[in-house]
Structure formats: C-alpha cells, structure tokens
C-alpha cells in the first residue's frame, strides 16, 4: 500500500519468551492495541525492536504477521540496520517481496562512514527497491549525522521520502522544512521533544512510549495538528516522566516494563540485554506507577475524536 508519511508510527518492541524465542501472541496483542488506538503506521525491527539481536528471517516473520493484522489499513515499515551495503540491499529486497509498505534505514552499522560513503549507502539501497524510504538520522546513538546537504543529494531518488529526525535539535525540523518543503516528510524521533516538533511542523512522530500508551500518543498528535495546543500540552506534561524513559540506554527494558503495566506486553529481552534489577528497576516502576495513578481520561478530554482524526 502507499505510505502517507504523516501521523504516529510506533517503533514497536519485539516480544520474546523467557528463552529468547519470538512471542508472537504477545506481539499480536500489542499490534492490535496500536491499531485500535489509531496509529498511522507500524515500524518493525528498529532500535527499540532490538534489531541487533534479530535474524533477518525473524524480522520478515514479524513483517508478515503485522501485514496480516493491519489488513491494508495502515502501512507496515521494516527497519534496515546492516553492516554492509549488500546486506542492506538484500534485506530491502526481502521486505519488498514479502509485501512491506516501506523501509526505515539507518546508516551503516559499526563502520563510521563519512558523508560521501553514507550518501552512497542510502542511494545504493534506494536504487535497488521501489519501496519508499525513511532515513533515520540519529548521530547521538549511531555516530553519523545525515545533514541537510546530504538529504539534498538523497532527494534525487524519488523513493527517499521521509526522515526520522533524532538529533535532539528541534531547529533541524525547521531547517529541513525550509529546504525541502513537502518533498521530505520530517518525523520527530525523540519522545521528549515530539510535541514541540509537531508544533514546529513535523509531519509525524516515530514514537517509543506509544508501545505502552498508544491512545495518549495519538491524542497528542491529533490535538496539535488541530490547533488544540493547550490540551496537547496538558497530556504532554503528564507524559513527560514516561517519555524520559525513552532517552536512556535502557530504553528497551524501560518501555517493556511500561508495556507490562498497561497490559500489552512482557518484559523479556534478548541477551546481552537483561531485565532491570534492584534500584534501577524500582526507579522505573515508580515513574510508571506515578503516571498510571494520574493517567488522563483521553475519551473525556477529547470531544469528537473522529473529527480530529479527519482533520489531522
């Protein structure tokens, strides 16, 4: 299906049993909760999805299951995070054959490519597939920045259509919009500044805490896009202690604990990750418990929610 690069796209977690095997039943429960909340797309096998521990066959299994659950209602995006250009091309081709709607792409893994090499990497994959591509720009975690000038080169490929902007510099939202207008859809990739980014004109939000709190995340998006900033800020202020769990080296464990608390996930991770323990675990649980005690009543707060959905 065509990808309309707008709205809330959860970077979903991958569900495992305690022995490390895929837990498809728990995965399905979470995906259905996302769809029910009104998300606009699903991204699989990203950083939050523990991409570094997944085999390509497992990614494709998750894509296939999500395509079944989405049933053509929303696009299903597979993340590409590979060490070599050839492996990235192979993964992209596999995703396309399976029926994925699009790709999100990280720069080369492990090797710190320079600007020329990074651009060549993205271009090579773009030439190999007809799938639309979102470039993932996260220099803080991955050491490579995709600058505005680099994106200028990448726009020569029609299927490079969006960027997940995770530099944590909100002015980059404006720089991208000033340079490219509607040619590139700019998504916020950092939960703690997503509300502000949407107000600055970002087209969407690749979200993390949405995995546990889909309705609240979607509500913020629709409220901002319909100009109801006061209500959006109120939810965002309640959400902030939770959103800060996303900007942490243990974001996967943090968010999986939140999924357990809201009844749509498990906390099992794949080694080398381990479940949170001791004071660290207690601190995260305290944040989650505090938020749940004051959780906003979204249905009471938002009148005519379907109207908001149509406007956004």
- Helical spans, DSSP H, in 129-228: 139-142, 148-154, 171-180, 194-199, 214-225
Question: What's the token pair of residue 219?
Answer: 């509500």
What average pLDDT does range 200-218 have in this prediction? Answer: 98
**What distances in angstroms separate CA 182 from CA 4, 58, 148, 186, one per listed residue?**
12, 34, 14, 9
With cut-offs at 50, 70 and 90, classify the pLDDT of residue 308: low
User: What percent of the chain stands above pLDDT 70?
Assistant: 96
With cut-offs at 50, 70 and 90, classify the pLDDT of residue 141: confident
What average pLDDT does range 200-205 have in this prediction? Answer: 98
Q: Are 161 and 188 in contact (CB under 8 A)?
A: no
With cut-offs at 50, 70 and 90, classify the pLDDT of residue 304: low
What class, spelled out in words, does domain 7-311 have in CATH?
alpha beta
With cut-offs at 50, 70 and 90, classify the pLDDT of residue 19: very high
Examine the pLDDT at 242 and tell me if it is beyond 90. Answer: yes
Q: Are 294 and 238 in contact (CB under 8 A)?
A: yes
- Helical spans, DSSP H, in the chain: 24-37, 56-70, 85-98, 115-128, 139-142, 148-154, 171-180, 194-199, 214-225, 229-243, 251-261, 278-293, 298-301, 305-311
Instruction: Give 18's contacts (C-beta < 8 A, 6+ positions apart).
Output: 268
Distance, CA of 151 to CA of 128 (rounded, Å): 18
pLDDT at 110: 86
Instruction: Give 88's contacts (C-beta < 8 A, 6+ positions apart).
Output: 80, 82, 105, 108, 121, 124, 125
Residues in the chain, how many? 312
Residue extents of the structural domains in the chain: 7-311
- 128, with CB counted inside 10 A (0-12, 13-18, 19+), is middle
Distance, CA of 207 to CA of 214 (rounded, Å): 9
Examine the pLDDT at 64 and tell me if it is beyond 60. Answer: yes
Examine the pLDDT at 142 and tell me if it is beyond 60. Answer: yes
**Exposure string for 194-233, b = 16+ CB within 10 A, e = fewer:** bbbbbbbebbbbbbbbbbbbbbbbbbbbbbbbbebeebbb
Distance, CA of 176 to CA of 148 (rounded, Å): 6
């Amino acid at each position: 299906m065509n990808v309309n690069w707008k709205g809330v796209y959860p970077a979903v977690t991958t569900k495992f049993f305690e022995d490390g095997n895929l837990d498809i039943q728990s995965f399905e429960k979470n995906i259905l909760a996302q769809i029910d909340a009104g998300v606009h797309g699903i991204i699989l096998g990203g950083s939050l999805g523990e991409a570094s521990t997944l085999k390509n066959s497992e990614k494709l299994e998750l894509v296939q299951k999500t395509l079944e659950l989405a049933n053509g209602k929303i696009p299903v995006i597979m993340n590409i995070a590979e060490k070599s250009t050839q492996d990235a091309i192979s993964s992209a081709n596999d995703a396309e054959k399976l029926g994925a709607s699009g790709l999100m792409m990280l720069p080369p893994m492990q090797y710190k490519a320079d600007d020329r090499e990074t651009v060549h990497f993205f271009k090579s994959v773009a030439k190999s597939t007809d799938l639309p591509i979102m470039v993932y720009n996260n220099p803080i975690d991955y050491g490579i920045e995709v600058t505005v000038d680099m994106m200028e080169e990448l726009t020569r490929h029609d299927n490079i259509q969006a960027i997940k902007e995770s530099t944590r510099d909100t002015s980059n939202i404006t720089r991208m919009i000033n340079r490219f207008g509607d040619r590139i859809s700019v998504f916020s990739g950092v939960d703690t500044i997503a509300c502000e980014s949407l107000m600055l004109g970002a087209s969407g939000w690749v979200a993390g805490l949405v995995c546990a709190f889909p309705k609240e995340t979607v509500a913020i998006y629709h409220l901002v896009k319909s100009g109801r900033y006061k209500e959006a800020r109120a939810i965002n202020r309640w959400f902030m202690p939770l959103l800060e769990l996303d900007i942490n080296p243990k974001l996967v464990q943090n968010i999986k604990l939140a999924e357990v608390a809201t009844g749509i996930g498990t906390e099992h991770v794949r080694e080398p990750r381990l479940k949170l323990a001791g004071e660290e675990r207690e601190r995260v649980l305290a944040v989650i418990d505090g938020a749940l005690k004051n959780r906003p009543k979204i249905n009471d707060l938002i009148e005519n929610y379907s109207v908001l959905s149509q406007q956004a």
